[in-house]
Every structure is written in C-alpha cells, then in structure tokens.
Structure 1
C-alpha cells in the first residue's frame, strides 16, 4: 500500500515528542541536522513538493522567496509568536495559510525577562567570569556592587500577553509597574499599573526598561539615542522581544557612557552573529535568543504548529492563524 500521508517539510529538528508525532502523521523528507537557510528551504521544497512547511524565526521567507515556493504548499506554520521573518501578504496572495504559536510560550518568555533583569542588575556575567577565573581573593565591601531589583520602577513597553506576565512576576519583587502601549488596558488587566500615553513620557520614571512588543517597519530602531537619554542615568535595559526594536549603536554608546548601568539581552539585530562590541562590555548579560527554550514550551509550540498543519490539510480552520 502506498503512503498517502501528507508531506511536511521541516526546517529544523523539533523536540522528541513533537518529532514522534510528526513521523507518525506525516511523510517528511528527513530531519535537518541544522536549521535550513532560505536557499536550502526553497531547494528542498522544489525537490520534495510538500503540502506544508514548519519553520521558525531566523529563517526569512520574503517576496521573491515566496514566489519560488511550489504550488503544492498549502500552509506555512511558524513555531514562534513572531512573524516578522515571513512576508504575510505575499504568502496570502499565493493562497498559503500562515499560522503561529501564541500563548504557549508566554510564561517562559516572561521568566526569561525576569532572569535578564536579575542577571543585569546583580552583575551575574561579571560574577561568573570572576569565578571561572578561579576567584582567588576576597571582594571589598564596595567592589562589584549590583543594583537591588526589589522596589524599583519597571517600565514595560508593550503590555500584551507577555508584558502582563512580566508585570505579574515583577510584583513579586514589589516593583512599581509602569507601561506604554498602543492603548490603555482595562482596569482589571492593568492591575494597578500606571499607563503613559507616550513612551517618551514614561522613560524618565523607569529604573528598568523592558521591551515586549513585536518587530515591524514602524518599530524598527524605535529605541534610539534620544529615548535612551530620557531614562534616569544608571537605568537598566532589557530586551527579550526583538533585536530590530533597538538602535544598537545607541545602546552600546549608552552602556559605555554609564547612561545605562547594565543591559540584559536575549535578542539582537544580527542573529546568530550579534555585534561583537556587546561581548566586550562587562555590563551586558547576553543569552542566545532562548526565551522559549524549555522542554515544556518548545514541545507545546511544536504541537500547536502541528495542530495548525493538520487542521489546514484536513480542511478545517487552524487554531492560530495569522491575519494579513
């Protein structure tokens, strides 16, 4: 009997539980040993003629790329919340449904933001470097002092699902929550947070600033030298959202000058090869875009992507479609 299972093209390996489900339900061309490049994806799609593609951030499919996809592709399911790597209008124009994986990674991304805050405020990177060098001497009472996070004023830019989850965690540190958003939240969702109609108005009141909004042409480089200068001197900057939100030259200048005491970064403009100047700054705590990197969350993300693929190929409405 011939195998009539739908054909799924994977652009990178998924967790074992997700891979088990995929291999049971789909015909796949193989399991990539590395995340495919756009060129490799397009070559594989032409050769394999898939019904569906499972991809993720960091693998762009833009206008000319989309034109090269074979007509058999019915759905592109990204294992991510962000969709800035995909040309949504171009895919929709081809009749290809696009889906993403919101909600299931909210908690882990919020946890990562808190980790970055603590690590930046308490100089975790510098402490780790000292220990790996053998330590070897007692520290003076005024040496390598960090900043107490408890009780500080946290400014959140983007009060969506993840921003609100960060606020809930920050309240456990008795932090005062400020936020800037496209629109003010209902009182129940605000939970006592203070709303600012403009980001510029909020910044002078922030001891810590944390970004939680998607990348778009409108938000590209929105955190620039002028806005960073509005923060109190010695503030801490956190980005677990998207590197494209930040003018990195301005960020590096602010870290070098002391305008910012520290930063915690999980995302960068040029991934996976961030600006090497960040590596030279002892007051920056760096992680490699791993906000969702737990077994539980990556499995949930993969399962939701598969749910979307199965729904589309079965003629049903996908759980989490991406609108134009």
Structure 2
C-alpha cells in the first residue's frame, strides 16, 4: 500500500509526478483559500507526508493527530509556522526551500525599497485618481537611493543578495547579524555593526532576519526612535519581527519617513489595516518569492524533499539536520 501525502494548497499537477509514482496524493483543491483546520487535522491523521505553505500552522495539535507522519515539507524558506522541536521529538523531518528563491526575493526587496523611496505606488495612484493637473518642482519628490546607506538586519542568503544589488547603486552597506558574514564583507564591502549603530546610521533599514523567539518584535518603539527621521523601513522577512503599533506611532509622529512592507503580523490584511492609512507606506501581499519561475522551483523542491524521505533518503533541504544523522542516512542534505 502506497504512503499517503497531503498537499495543503492547489499546486500545478506538472510538478507532482515524482510523488504520484510512489504515493497516494491528496490535495486541497483551492489555490486562493487555505485548507480549513478540520480538514488539515483529518488529512494529517493518515498522512506520511505533508506539503505545506507558510499560512498553515503545523503545531503540536497537528503533529499529535498524525501518527504516521514522517516529513513536513514547507514550500518556503521560513518555517516559523511549524513546531520544529515537537516534530524532531517525533522523528518527523521538517524541510524547506532555501536557495531557489534567494535572488527572486532579493529582487522584490530592492524593488520595494525603490518603490518606497521614489513614491512609485503613490505616484501611480496620483494619475489614476485624476489628480495630475500640473507639473511642479517638488511634485511627489522622494528620496535618492544611490550613494545612500543601507542597513541590512539579517545577512543570510537573501540579505547578501540584497546587498549585492545595493552595490549597483553605490550604496554604503551596513549589516547586523548574529554572526559575522566575512564573505559579504570581502566581496561586497559590507560593514558589520551593532543593531543600534545600524539604526542610527542607515537611510534604509531592511529587515531580512528570521523570526525566532529572540527576534520577535525586534523592531520596537525604541528601535524606530533610533532611526533617522529621513529613514525608510523595509520588511521582506516576517511580520512578527515588527511591533506594528510601534511602527504606526513612528509613522504618525514622523519619526521615520516611510515604510515598505511585504509581510504583516497577521495575514492577510484588509484595506482598513491601520498602516494603510499612510501614503508613505508601500504595502504588498507577501509576494517576495512570487515569480512564476521561482514558485515552480519551490514546488519541485518540496516534492523532492517529500519523495526523498519516503524513499529512505535525505531530503534536499532539512531544518532539523540532527534527525538526518540520527536516521543514519549517508545522503547529503
């Protein structure tokens, strides 16, 4: 009898062949609606593999309801939606999709920075609202990007790729990370500094750190007060890194010049979200890796991760690496 794999959102059938050859595959039939909690629990109860999205909370309740489960493969680089410690205790591998989305997410991050600095969305709305009557010297004047200072919080793969893009604008690159990134320093001229120093000096503060218990609400009232009044805050990581009430106050009080946000504390947001009342907020619906090419690669990697585990091999990318060693696989992860 083939193992059962459940996919929590509709993905293209073309990527599923490797799974369909070795497993019975079930899939929530909607692309734009998350799987209901009761359906997820029911399907997890018989699944050996779960193909999940960042919107799915794979917590202790789900894991406890899934006695056969061997692998949870997230179609994302982040995995804060999964109870990794509990999964590890149950010998369940947790997989993700790093690398394949690095450049695409860095492209979006820098596009968000540029759009925020030059008021691109606001300017487009200006025309659509039929408000463009005359030209004037300071009409929708934004901020230069070239030769400014970018401060990147989280110099991982995406942070490094974003810094690479900043070099094309002759930007000074500051970064803060839990450990030094010598490659970024040597190849990109990035300068390591404390978070306080970065906040005080950067014209653009770019959040690309992972969401952990240590980084939750990292960008607080105190953090925004340390930033320049001319600075723009960009978040393309996870919404939970930001105290949104503090960001609201900082924008309302003019403590920072604007924000570009691809992620929010609770998603999706509605048009009445408090941060959307500000014209100097550029908001996107969590589309950091949303190019057709990259999303297909992510889906393919997620399929491969599950297929490898079910076939007794190491996944391409695994979060709880110690579990691979425990299982004695000789395959590279």
TM-score by length of 2: 0.90
> How big is each residue's C-alpha offset from its partner over 1:87-115, in whole Å with a ceiling of 9 and x where there is no partner?
01111222211111111110111011101
CA distance in structure 2 between the partners assigned to 1:153 and 1:19 by the alignment: 44
> How big is each residue's C-alpha offset from its partner over 1:137-182, in whole Å with a ceiling of 9 and x where there is no partner?
1232122211111111000001110000000001111111011111
Correspondence for 2:48 among 51, 59, 64: 51
Asked whether 1:315 is paired with 2:312, we answer yes
Residue 40 of structure 2: aligned partner: 41
CA distance in structure 1 between the partners assigned to 2:50 and 2:74 by the alignment: 8
3-state SS, counterpart of residue 177 of structure 1: strand
Measured after TM superposition, the shift of residue 28 of structure 1 is 1.8
3-state SS, counterpart of residue 29 of structure 1: strand
3-state SS, counterpart of residue 257 of structure 2: strand
Alignment CA distance shift 1:90-1:77 (3 Å): same
Asked whether 1:193 is paired with 2:181, we answer no
Q: Report if aligned partners of 2:238, 2:263 keep a CA contact under 8 Å in 1.
A: yes
Residue 65 of structure 2: aligned partner: 68
Residue 289 of structure 1: aligned partner: 286
Q: Report if aligned partners of 1:59, 1:85 keep a CA contact under 8 Å in 2.
A: yes
Bigger drift between 243-252 and 27-36 goes to: 27-36
CA distance in structure 1 between the partners assigned to 2:305 and 2:317 by the alignment: 7
Residue 132 of structure 1: aligned partner: 128
CA distance in structure 2 between the partners assigned to 1:9 and 1:92 by the alignment: 20
Asked whether 1:305 is paired with 2:298, we answer no
Q: Report if aligned partners of 1:125, 1:282 keep a CA contact under 8 Å in 2.
A: no
> How big is each residue's C-alpha offset from its partner over 1:265-302, in whole Å with a ceiling of 9 and x where there is no partner?
00000111267112211100010001011111111111
CA distance in structure 1 between the partners assigned to 2:256 and 2:23 by the alignment: 50
Give the gaps of 5 or more residues in structure 1: none
3-state SS, counterpart of residue 310 of structure 1: helix
Measured after TM superposition, the shift of residue 305 of structure 1 is 0.9
3-state SS, counterpart of residue 84 of structure 1: coil
Measured after TM superposition, the shift of residue 30 of structure 1 is 3.8
Give the gaps of 5 or more residues in structure 2: 323-333
Asked whether 1:217 is paired with 2:213, we answer yes
Counterpart mapping for 1:1-324 below 5 A: 4-19=1-16, 22-23=19-20, 26-33=23-30, 34-46=33-45, 49-69=46-66, 71-186=67-182, 189-190=185-186, 191-196=188-193, 198-273=194-269, 276-323=273-320
Aligned residues: 317
CA distance in structure 1 between the partners assigned to 2:34 and 2:99 by the alignment: 24
Measured after TM superposition, the shift of residue 58 of structure 1 is 1.6
Q: Report if aligned partners of 1:152, 1:175 keep a CA contact under 8 Å in 2.
A: yes
Across the aligned residues of Structure 1 and Structure 2, the Cα RMSD in angstroms comes to 1.8
CA distance in structure 2 between the partners assigned to 1:164 and 1:233 by the alignment: 26
CA distance in structure 2 between the partners assigned to 1:276 and 1:119 by the alignment: 20
TM-score by length of 1: 0.93
Q: Report if aligned partners of 1:77, 1:99 keep a CA contact under 8 Å in 2.
A: yes
